[in-house]
Amino acid sequence: MHIKDLCTKCDHWTITTIIHDGETATFTCTHCKNEFDLPWDTNTRYLIRSIRHSLKKRTKKYPELLNLKHEGQGIKIQEKASDPTA
Ligand SMILES: [Zn+2]
């Protein structure tokens, strides 16, 4: 599966691929190829859901995230001043 996430290694918004074998989930940043593993458990599945959920909000705030469509792309977004209504 794919998620859009901010890679802590290259500091770009990228497509992250997640592959799991039922025990371990491997997250790979398609931009810098940084990889890390997490156990494929309830916490990890919850983490993926919450990343997906917060992305909707973020995409509203940062429409440039809509341009992120292909593996390998990396987008830098300027953090906007936090919206007090958010
Ligand atoms: Zn990266």
Q: What is the pLDDT at residue 83? A: 61
CA of residue 35 to ligand 1 center, whole Å: 9
How many C-beta atoms lie closer than 10 Å to residue 14's C-beta?
25
15 vs 64: CA distance, rounded Å = 14
CA of residue 21 to ligand 1 center, whole Å: 22
Q: What is the pLDDT at residue 65? A: 95
Q: What is the pLDDT at residue 46? A: 97
* DSSP assigned state of 50: H
Task: Kindly report the pTM of this predicted structure.
Answer: 0.86
50 vs 74: CA distance, rounded Å = 21
3-state secondary structure of 58: helix
CA of residue 28 to ligand 1 center, whole Å: 8
CA of residue 86 to ligand 1 center, whole Å: 27
CA of residue 4 to ligand 1 center, whole Å: 11
Of 54, 61, 60, residue with least CA distance to 6: 54
pLDDT in tens, 31-86: 999 999 999 999 999 999 999 999 999 999 999 999 999 999 999 988 777 666 65
